[in-house]
Structures are given as C-alpha cells and as structure tokens.
Structure 1
Amino acid sequence: MSEVTSEPSARSTTQGAQQGKPKQDADTVSAARGMAAQRRGGGPPWAGAGQPTEKAMTFGPSAKRLVARLRPERIGVIVVLVLGVVSVALNVIGPKILGHATDLVFAGIIGKQLPAGITAAQAAAGARAQGNDTIANVIEAQNVIPGMGIDFHALGLVLAGVMAIYLGSAVFGYVQGYLLNGIVQRTVFSLRREVEDKINRLPLSYFDGRQRGEVLSRVTNDIDNVQQSLQQTMSQLLTSLLTIVGVLAMMLTVSPLLSLVALITVPVTFWLTRAIGKRSQKQFVAQWRNTGVLNGHIEETFTGQELVRVFGRRAEVEEIFREKNEALYQASFRAQFISGIIMPSMMFLGNLNYVLVAVIGGLRVASGSMSLGDVQAFIQYSRQFTQPLTQAASMANLLQSGVASAERVFELLDAAEQSPDPEVPEVRSERRGRVAFEHVSFRYVPDRPLITDLSLVAEPGQTVAIVGPTGAGKTTLVNLVLRFYELDGGRITLDGVDIARMARADLRSGIGMVLQDTWLFNGSIRANIAYGRPGATEEQILAAARATYVDRFVRSLPQGYDTVIDEEGTGVSAGEKQLITIARAFLADPSLLILDEATSSVDTRTEVLVQRAMAALRSDRTSFVIAHRLSTIRDADLILVMEDGSIVEQGTHEQLLAAEGAYHRLYNAQFAGATAEME
C-alpha cells in the first residue's frame, strides 16, 4: 500500500501486513518468528513465514455453530422442512398403493383359473380338501373372485393415482431444493462478508506470523468447502432423515413383525458410522490444515521465482513441495479411505436386511397372514429404509470435511481484533501535520523492549529524516503514527489530538505513505494512480503524473494511461512502479507524508528528479523520511539518528557532522569507508 487515504480494505490490510512489516533488530525478529521457523523445520529464506499451530475443535460444537449460522434463514428453513415432509410423505405412500395394484393383478390371475359361480370361501375349502392349504390361504388373503380376471379399470385408477403421487412428490422436492439452494448461498455469502470484515479488523500482528497463502486458503478453499458440504449434506440429510421416519411409520402399519426384523440393523448402522466417523474426522482436519500449508508454500515460491532460480534453490523448493504434497496426499487418502468404508458396510447390512425380509415375508404370504402386495410394499420400504441410512452414512465424510473447514474459518473469526475506535472519537480542528511523541514505549515481543521513553516533536512543514542501522526502529516509528500497532506506554498526538482517541479512518485519511516495496493492483496505470484519491478528475491525475515524472514513460507506452498492469507490475520496471506509487501519494495531497525508502528502486537520474518533486510535495506539510542513503536527506529540517529504539542524536546535516557522533560514523561508513575499502 503506497498510501493510506481511507479505512483499508481486505486487500490493503493484507498488503499492509506484507509491506508495512516492522524492520526489527535481529533478536526481536528471532523471538517473534523463531517458533514459526521451527515448526516449518527449516528451509530457504523465502519460506520463513510461520504456520500457526492448529488445534481442531470437537466435531459437535463446530457443527452446532455451523448450523446456528442458518438462524437468519429460519423461516425459509421451516418452509423447506414442510415441503420436505410433504414430498417424503407422498413418496412413502406410493409403495403401499402400488402393492394394492399387485394384489389386483395377482387376484385376477388366480381368479381366472377358478370356476365361476362359486365364492372365494368355497374355492378355498375345495383347495384344502385337495391338500393345497397354501393355495387356500392365498385365495382367502387376496380377496379372489372365482372366474373373474384382472380388473383393468381398477388397476388403471390405482396406477394413475401412484403416478400423480410420485409427480407431486417430485414437484415438492424440486421446490424444496430450489429454496434450500438459496438458503445455503445466502448463508455462505454472509460468512464470506463476515470474514472480509474480520480481516479488516485484525491487527497487522496477526498477519506477521502467518503465511499469506495459508490465510487465503481459509478465506477461499475452506469457505468453498463449507458451501459444498452444506449444499450436498443439508438436502440429502434432510430428505434421508424424513424418509427414515416416514418409511418406518409405513412399515409398522404394514407389518410390525417385519419392521422389527428391519430395525435389527439400525443399531449396528449407527455404531459403525460413529466408530468410523470418529477416526476419519481427525484425518479431515489434517487434510485441510495441510492444504493451507501447501498453498502457503506455493504462493511464496511462485512470487519468489526469480530468487529461487538465481540462488539455485529449485531442487530444495521442489523437495519441500514434495514433502508437503505427500503430507496432504497421506491425510487426504486416510480421510477418504476411512470414511469410504461406511458406504460398502451400509450396503452389506442393507442386503442382509433385504434377504431376511424377503424370506420371512414369503413365509407369511404362504401362511396367509399377509398379502403378496403387502410383502412387495414392505420389501420396497425396507430398501427405502436402508437407502437413506446408507446415504446419511455416505454424507458423513462430506459433513466431516465441511466441519473441519468450518473450524479453520471459525478460528479466523475468533482471532483477537485490534482495539475498537472510541465511541465518540476526537476530531482535529485543523490539519497542520504537527506530530508529537510523548514518552512512547513499544515492543513487538512482551519481554523484548524496542522503543523506550521516546519523545520528539515534528512541527508543521518540517521534513524529519530518520536514519540508523537496520533494526533500530525507524519503520516502527512511522507505523506507530499510523496506529498499525498500539503503544505500550506514552502517547502520540497529531495536531494536539491523541491518535488513540481518533477514528482510524480519520487518522489515516490525512496521511500519505510511500513504501520501499511497491504495491500495484491489476488495473490500468490511471486507476493505480487514482487509488490515492477516489473521485479524482483526469486533470488531477495527469498533474500528479507529471509532477512525479510518470508522464515521461507512460507517453511511450502504446496504450498510455490505459495500459493494464498486474499486482506484480508486469510491463514496467521496478523504478517505474515506484514512480506510480509516488504519484498516488501526490494525488492524495495529505497533511502528513511518510516516505519509507521511497526512492530506493529508481536510478540516480530519476532520483534527482523525484527529489525535486518531493521537495514541492513536502512544502506546507510534515514529512517523515526514512532513508539509508544519507545523500537523499541532506536538506531535511531535522535528522533523527536512532539506535536500539532510541534517538541518540538529532539536528541538521551540518550540525550532526560537526558533532562527530553516530551520524558522522554512519556518513563516513557510507561514503569515505566505501572509498577506502576499494583502495
């Protein structure tokens, strides 16, 4: 982010984490990130960002929390439930009525073979007299009319009724699915928006110890997996559960004895599903954790391809990728394999149940205690009963995977946020740019102080240069002005107002910032410059471009200001990228300007031109300039020399050279020392 003109978006917040990262001394960096580096087991320099330790929540609380997110859609959920009940009720009535059609056909076939003019009782008695008790039982149970064949009119009415019932069930099921899809999409939409808002409220310290790829994996892959799991499991689980209840009720009405036989497998089903699910849940958590780790590594190495090739670390990068990919493969294989055992186990139990029902049902038909149609209906019900159990079991792996992803998203949502803005924030009466540090203390790591009891005043219109060795706290100083981090002690005032009492958006709206590491987004050069001031006119954009010499090279591009560049600045040089970010700061016209090594990427000739432009930009506003090249800050009104978080010297360039102190040593090391070394 080249400057801050408004409350940062998710993109600018992430960028701040990348480019506004504190330049700490070696011990501080080691303490802050040492544990992360140990967790990664070593590796190349670009792979040093840490991976947070994952501690998965239990399945139950996470699943309840996920379901609770449907609460705003409770009316729609109720409608879906009602439609599901109606659809399932119609669906389970069908086999019973279809069984009546079977009875009509069977009765017609047997009746056609009997002589007309006698009653069913007489036909049954005749069959018993001949020793055919089974035939007699069937005649009595099936309401056979001797001499009469199949009643096709009655059969047609029954089949038409069954078709209407199944058609109605399908229509209600379609409407249910349509509404459910909307509920899931709105719920996930709300979750994404909440995660986006959460990222904007997270402090930069949250991103300092985490890989960008790992955080992005939670925002993209994990939320997508939650959506897919909800979409598939809610519909099928709801239908399956309602089908189980409806089919069980119909089975009891047809035959309580056969229902008892069918229910024998239910406890075994639940025990088996729970036992397998408990083992596979851990593997699903590991699967998505390893997905985040792998994405983080890929993002790092892809963005650092030049360094990977220059330093010949391709083999090492590929080995790290192979290890992480192997870990993901093993976790995914175990998760899918263990959860995949559920389906064939359920099919085996279902087939066993089918055999038992068919054998016992056949015996009861032979005994005359049940009709053939009822047995047929019950066999259909037994299949319908085991099928939703099997579906529910097969959904277990998707549900576990979704809950595992939800845990990772909830962990992000539960992360500690930056302190909220005051309920009644103070507002500056005038924007002059006076900055005062009053006994400021700050530390990144609790037991390692970085800045202690620092006091200084930057008057309006002054250019304050901050110099010192790496890790002295120079960048930290300006990050504290922006409230990227909160103070441990003291206060900082801007035009007499404590910045801790101001709204962050109001504070940052008057501050422009140009960093050493440029940030550009995918868009035209014009849009990248205009990012500094929403609603800027074309003339204002062109004026900023001319003042910072962007216009000089843009005119040579085929599409001029409409040239599209991506976030890596493809198509322009590193110096030209920096000029674009400087133009962005010019356009913002802030009252306080922060330049953190802003000219380090430009050539010497361009630097002279930019320095002249910056001199005009810095007029009538306070400027903090962080510089390693001391030649760029000779004209500063005040130069602060920092060492170990403290200001050890301050004054103008001439005064500090005459004092022959820390600044004098830095100056000689940079110029005279370099010449002597060459000699």
Structure 2
Amino acid sequence: MSIGTADEDRVSLNRADSKAVRARSLRLLGSLIRPVRGKFILTVILVVFSQATRVLGPLLIAFGIDHALPALQQGNPAQILITGGGYVLAAALTAWMTAGYVTTTAQLSQAMLLDLRRRVFQHTQRLSLEFHEKYTSGRIISRQTSDLEALRELLDSGVASLASGVIFMVFTAISIFTLDWPTGIVILLAAIPMFFLSRWYQKRSQVAFRASRVVSAKLIVNFVETMTGIRAVKAFRRERANNAKYTELSEDYRKVTVTSINLNGIFQPGLILIGNVAVAVVLLLGGFRVLSGGLEVGALLALILATKRFFSPVDQMAMFYTSFQSAQAALEKVSGLLEEVPTVRPPKHPIALSEPRGELVFDGVEFRYGDGPLVMPHLDLTIPAGQTVAVVGQTGAGKSTLAKLVARFYDVSKGSLRLDGVPLDRLSSEDLRRAIVMVTQEAFLFSGSVAENIALGKPSASREEIEAAAKAVGAHDFIMALPEGYDTDVNKRGGRVSAGQRQLLSFARAFLAAPAVLILDEATASLDIPSERIVQQGLKKLLGSVTGSSRTAIIIAHRLSTVEIADRVLVVHDGEIVEDGSPADLIAGGGRFATLHGAWQDSLV
C-alpha cells in the first residue's frame, strides 16, 4: 500500500468515526428531547411566531410612509391609525411571545440537564469495576462538571438565540423580496461569503473545541489526583514538580482557548463587515432608483431597515455559535461515556436465591483481565457453607482476583462459579449483594454520621440494630467517645476516626448486613501493630458471629495473623492453588505456607 493510499484510508476512517460520533450525540440529544417534546414543540411555535411579528415592523413602516401619510394628507386618518396600531400590536405580541419562549426554553433546558445528570451518575455507577480501574475519577468528574456546564450554557439561552436568529433572518429575507426583489438578490449575494466564512469557522472551531475538552479533562484529572493524594505529595515533597505539571497543562488549555478565541475574532468581525457592506450597497442602489422613480422613499427606508435588521442577529449568533461548538464537543464526550457497556451485566432471567447458605464452587474457572494474559489458568475448588477459608500468597499471586470473582466485580472468562448451585451471573444484583459482602483494606467512609455509615450494610436498620452491630465487633466504646456519638459526622473520608476505627466501622457494616459469604480483602494490611490488634479482636467477633451462623468467610490475608482463626488455608501462586489444608497441617508439611509462616514469625521477633 502506498503512503498516499494509507493517508486516504486514515482520513476516510476519521470521517467515518466523526460521523459515528455525531450520530451518537444526536441520538442522545433526541432521547433527552423525547420526554419533553410537548414543551419543545411549544417553544418552537413561540419562536417562529415571535420572529414573524418582529419582521412586520419594516413592512408597516413602508406602508405608513408610502400610503398612510398621503391618505392622511387627503384627510383620511384611518390608514395611519391602523398602521400605528398594527405596529404597537406587533411589538406587544413580539414581546409577549419572546418572554414565553425564553421561559419555556429555560424550563426545557433544566429538565434536559436534570435528566442527563441523572443518567451520567446512574450509568457511571452501573459500569463494572473494570471500567473504573481504567477510567480515572478526574475524567468522570469532568463529564459531570465542565462538560455539562458547557451544555447548560448552550441550552439555557444559546439554542433559542440561534433558532430565533435564523428564523428572523429567513422571515426578513422574505419580507425584503416582498418589498423589492432586486434588493433581495443583493441579500442572497451577501449570504454567499457568509456561508463560506461560516464553513471555515465551523471546521476549525470544531477541532479547537474538541481539543479544549480533552485538555480541560486532563487539567481536572491532574487537580483531582493531586488533591486526593495530598499526603503523598507532602511526604515526597512533590509540590514543585506538581506545580510545573499543572502549569504545563494550564498553558495547554490557555493555548487551545486562545486558538478558539482567535477564530471567533475573525468570524464575528467578518460577518459584521459583510452585513455593513450589504447595507451600503442597498442604500447606494436604492438611492439611485428613488431618484429615477423606480422605488418609493418609504420602501427604500423599509429595505435599509430590514437589511440592517437582517444582519443584526449575526453578531449574537456568532457568539452563541461558539457556545454551540463547545457544547457539541462536550456532548460527544458525555455520549461516549453513556455508550460504555458494563462488562458485568445483570441477568435477563435471574434465578432467585432467597435463603443462601454460602457454598461456593469453582468449576474449571479461568480468568483474564480484558484481552490480557490468563491470571487464573484453571481452578477447581469447593468451599462448603460455613467454612472460614484463608487465602494467602505472595503479592500478585492472585488472591484479590479470587475475591473479586466471588464478589462478581468481574465475570469468569471460562468455566462456572456457583453459589449454592446457582451461577453467580444468573443471580439478580439484589440477591448477589445480599448474599455476598466484601470488606476491603480501604474501609471507605462516606460523608455523614457514624450511624449512617454503619447502616450501609442494611439501610432499613433501626438505631438499636446499628448499635448492636457496633457492639458485636467492639466499635461501640470508641463511637460513644466521639463528640456526638453515633451522630458524629465522620468528615471527609472518615477524617475524624483512625484507620483501625474505620476498619471496625466497616466490620459493623458487614455484621449488620449478615451475608451468607463474607470476604475480607487484606482487612488489616494498612494498619500498625496496635491498630491491628484492636481490629483483630473485632475480626474474631465478626467471624465468630459468621461461623456461628453457619456462613462462609473468605479471608484474603497478607499478614498471617488472621490465618490462625481459619478452618482452612489456600496458598495461591500464579493464579493456582498450590496448597490446601488446615493451618497446622500446612505448617507441618513444610511447603510454601510453612515458609511464609516462618518468615512472618521471624518478622515479629
């Protein structure tokens, strides 16, 4: 293939991609308009009729000068009264309908934006963990903030201004042709350079605004990551390097913004120049025709006024066209996010599991992340209901992958993973989340009170149930020591409580949820020794309540202090189970677990 052919193919592909993106954006826009189409149609009607009455002004002025004034001189005031009354009535109708479409447009845009915000939030929550591990939080924030703000600016007033301007220009052109067709030809000739100038601006501004949205997202991502990781920034003295990076991104954003402003700086004055030249030509040609008797004075005045008014919306339209281009780029980004498909989907015909027992069966399970290599080559495993199983192994061995599969954060690539004989991918989301609960080392706390955070395990729980859960895992005493007890606001990410206390609160959540299967993923990995001891006591109480209720527990352990309470230990290496047995048996066997246990014992000395 020649280089020229390759370039042509690339251009063709880009065009095809661009068409697909535009089609996707239009589908989204259509779906937003559909629920409010009644108000949308009313807005269109008000815009059309308001511009129609607005165009009547020059026609009434021409009639008044050329016919009503001569009639008045002859003693007949009826025509001038009708003309004046008609002008006032047209102005009043224009004002009333303009106020109407401005109000309905605002209501329409806010309804559409509310719908879109909900969709983005709901869809982002529905997307699988795989998506969130690849798609940075800053980019998602950009979709909800800067992109939706660009759409808001356009929908609130931009669309109505663009539509009313275009309709006004069309009606004005019709009125000019009605008064004098040669002047109409002048207007049509002026429209030719306007068209080419608009096309020039459209092509270049589209590229500029797309680049602006990309750079804006990068800027937000950088800011969010810096503020989220501010402790690491302080610890490693990254302030100067981060400032340099942020300055670089800010400079990129400034450049793309200046580019779009420069384009508008050519487009807007160019349109105004074309309009002024057209008015001058109409005045010049019309003046000669008045002198030769080919045109009435009133008609010339009306034509000049109509021509000037024909180009008057151009300035405002140019400004809103800029908003339109920015909003179009934002709509492409948002529609792209909404087109993302969850890799873990709820079943179309779920199998009910009203009373789960907690038996887990891995039958020929293989797993890979996306199109990557196998990280779990083959796994056959049965975990009976009520058994406490510790999963150990070196970092990267596949422990957390196993936990994510059980929690159905990912679906197996091959084979079957069943809970009480039912494949996980056949369970409804409600049954799955009720049956399986996962406690991670992060122990994330949301803004709100301590009680609200514990109640995440069971939103309908009473205060008595919440306190009972906290007492069961040993969290009640430190909660009561807080300024407002269970009503204490934990502040951002649990800033008022320590890491160990956050983990105890997450245990209380799990206790309250009372799942059939409890997964503890590195629950003590990020704690110091004193905090770990406190959490270990809560963990024993939690697991004691679980095993006492004949429910299954899977402990993903990096520190082996949690293994002692397990009935069974699975040693994972390269995604495969290489040892399986009780802690005592595996220590006596002298294999990998014995080595890991010995190293852990040495670390305590």
Q: Same fold (TM over 0.5)?
A: yes
2:4 equivalent in structure 1: none
Could you say if the C-alpha distance between residues 387 and 65 of structure 1 is closer, same or farther in structure 2, counting changes exceeding 3 Å? Answer: farther
Q: Secondary structure at the match of 2:311?
A: helix
Q: Is the 8 A contact 1:340 1:394 kept in 2?
A: no
Are 2:41 and 1:78 aligned?
yes
Q: Secondary structure at the match of 1:595?
A: strand
Name the stretch that deviates more: 339-348 or 218-227.
Answer: 218-227
Q: In 1, Cα distance between the equivalents of 2:505 and 2:354?
A: 32
1:358-507 aligned at under 5 Å gives the runs: 358-428=283-353, 430-507=355-432
Specify which of 294, 299, 304 is matched with residue 224 of structure 2: 299
Q: Secondary structure at the match of 1:593?
A: strand
2:89 equivalent in structure 1: 164
1:536 equivalent in structure 2: 461
Deviations 1:387-430 (A, max 9, x none): 23443333321111111011111111222322533322112363
Q: Counterpart amino acid of 1:98? A: I
Q: Is the 8 A contact 1:483 1:504 kept in 2?
A: no
Q: Is the 8 A contact 1:57 1:407 kept in 2?
A: no
Deviations 1:77-120 (A, max 9, x none): 33222222221111111122133444589x6xxxxxxxxxxxxx
1:590 equivalent in structure 2: 515
Q: In 1, Cα distance between the equivalents of 2:261 and 2:496?
A: 45
Deviations 1:542-587 (A, max 9, x none): 1111122222112122211111123421222222112111111111
Specify which of 531, 536, 539 is matched with residue 611 of structure 1: 539
Name the stretch that deviates more: 249-258 or 595-604.
Answer: 595-604
Specify which of 631, 639, 645 is matched with residue 575 of structure 2: 645
TM-fit CA distance, 1:434: 0.9
Q: Secondary structure at the match of 1:552?
A: helix
Structure with bigger helix share is 2
Q: In 2, Cα distance between the equivalents of 1:495 and 1:654?
A: 29
TM-fit CA distance, 1:299: 0.7
Specify which of 651, 654, 663 is matched with residue 593 of structure 2: 663
1:57 equivalent in structure 2: 18
1:99 equivalent in structure 2: 62
Specify which of 610, 615, 625 is matched with residue 555 of structure 2: 625
Q: In 2, Cα distance between the equivalents of 1:253 and 1:607?
A: 86
Specify which of 182, 198, 210 is matched with residue 257 of structure 1: 182
Are 2:595 and 1:634 aligned?
no
Q: Secondary structure at the match of 1:270?
A: helix
Q: Is the 8 A contact 1:101 1:155 kept in 2?
A: yes
Deviations 1:573-622 (A, max 9, x none): 22211211111111111111111122343614413421332232322210
Q: In 1, Cα distance between the equivalents of 2:67 and 2:198?
A: 41
Q: Secondary structure at the match of 1:341?
A: helix
TM-fit CA distance, 1:530: 0.9
Could you say if the C-alpha distance between residues 527 and 673 of structure 1 is closer, same or farther in structure 2, counting changes exceeding 3 Å? Answer: closer
Q: Secondary structure at the match of 2:457?
A: coil
Q: In 2, Cα distance between the equivalents of 1:81 and 1:317?
A: 50
TM-fit CA distance, 1:385: 1.0
Higher RCO (CA 8 Å, separation ≥ 6 residues):
1
TM-fit CA distance, 1:202: 1.9
1:248 equivalent in structure 2: 173
TM-fit CA distance, 1:186: 2.2
Could you say if the C-alpha distance between residues 204 and 646 of structure 1 is closer, same or farther in structure 2, counting changes exceeding 3 Å? Answer: same
Q: Is the 8 A contact 1:273 1:393 kept in 2?
A: no
1:264-283 aligned at under 5 Å gives the runs: 264-283=189-208
Q: Is the 8 A contact 1:340 1:397 kept in 2?
A: no
2:3 equivalent in structure 1: none
Specify which of 253, 259, 263 is matched with residue 334 of structure 1: 259
TM-fit CA distance, 1:335: 1.8
Q: In 2, Cα distance between the equivalents of 1:62 and 1:642?
A: 45
Q: Secondary structure at the match of 1:512?
A: strand
Could you say if the C-alpha distance between residues 391 and 615 of structure 1 is closer, same or farther in structure 2, counting changes exceeding 3 Å? Answer: closer
Q: Secondary structure at the match of 1:460?
A: coil
Q: Is the 8 A contact 1:277 1:339 kept in 2?
A: no
Higher Cα Rg, which structure? 1
Q: Counterpart amino acid of 1:180? A: T
Deviations 1:117-161 (A, max 9, x none): xxxxxxxxxxxxxxxxxxxxxxxxx67959x8xx88865553333
Structure 2: unaligned runs, 5 residues or longer: 1-15
Q: Secondary structure at the match of 1:455?
A: strand
Q: Counterpart amino acid of 2:62? A: G
Q: Counterpart amino acid of 2:48? A: V
Q: Is the 8 A contact 1:56 1:407 kept in 2?
A: no
The normalised TM-score by structure 2 is: 0.91
Could you say if the C-alpha distance between residues 368 and 349 of structure 1 is closer, same or farther in structure 2, counting changes exceeding 3 Å? Answer: same
1:218 equivalent in structure 2: 143
Q: In 2, Cα distance between the equivalents of 1:237 and 1:294?
A: 30
Q: In 2, Cα distance between the equivalents of 1:257 and 1:317?
A: 65
Q: In 2, Cα distance between the equivalents of 1:144 and 1:508?
A: 86
2:53 equivalent in structure 1: 90
Q: Counterpart amino acid of 2:37? A: R
Considering only aligned residues, what root-mean-square deviation do their CA atoms show, in Å?
2.3
Are 2:449 and 1:518 aligned?
no
Q: In 2, Cα distance between the equivalents of 1:495 and 1:370?
A: 93
Q: Secondary structure at the match of 2:348?
A: coil
Q: Is the 8 A contact 1:529 1:584 kept in 2?
A: yes
TM-fit CA distance, 1:374: 1.6
Q: In 2, Cα distance between the equivalents of 1:372 and 1:321?
A: 64
Q: In 1, Cα distance between the equivalents of 2:577 and 2:30?
A: 53
Q: In 2, Cα distance between the equivalents of 1:161 and 1:540?
A: 75
Specify which of 295, 298, 312 is matched with residue 237 of structure 2: 312
Q: Counterpart amino acid of 2:553? A: S
Q: Is the 8 A contact 1:62 1:406 kept in 2?
A: no
Could you say if the C-alpha distance between residues 295 and 431 of structure 1 is closer, same or farther in structure 2, counting changes exceeding 3 Å? Answer: same
Q: In 1, Cα distance between the equivalents of 2:460 and 2:354?
A: 25
Q: Is the 8 A contact 2:219 2:249 kept in 1?
A: yes
Q: Is the 8 A contact 1:596 1:627 kept in 2?
A: yes
Q: Counterpart amino acid of 2:286? A: G
Q: In 1, Cα distance between the equivalents of 2:444 and 2:603?
A: 34
Q: In 2, Cα distance between the equivalents of 1:71 and 1:366?
A: 56
Deviations 1:22-66 (A, max 9, x none): xxxxxxxxxxxxxxxxxxxxxxxxxxxxxxxxx973585466445
1:4-19 aligned at under 5 Å gives the runs: none
TM-fit CA distance, 1:525: 0.8
Could you say if the C-alpha distance between residues 532 and 611 of structure 1 is closer, same or farther in structure 2, counting changes exceeding 3 Å? Answer: closer
Q: Is the 8 A contact 2:201 2:263 kept in 1?
A: yes
Q: Secondary structure at the match of 1:518?
A: coil
Q: Is the 8 A contact 1:433 1:591 kept in 2?
A: yes
TM-fit CA distance, 1:289: 0.9
Could you say if the C-alpha distance between residues 303 and 429 of structure 1 is closer, same or farther in structure 2, counting changes exceeding 3 Å? Answer: closer
TM-fit CA distance, 1:372: 2.1
The normalised TM-score by structure 1 is: 0.82
2:156 equivalent in structure 1: 231
Q: Secondary structure at the match of 1:571?
A: coil
Q: Is the 8 A contact 2:22 2:332 kept in 1?
A: no
Name the stretch that deviates more: 585-594 or 152-161.
Answer: 152-161
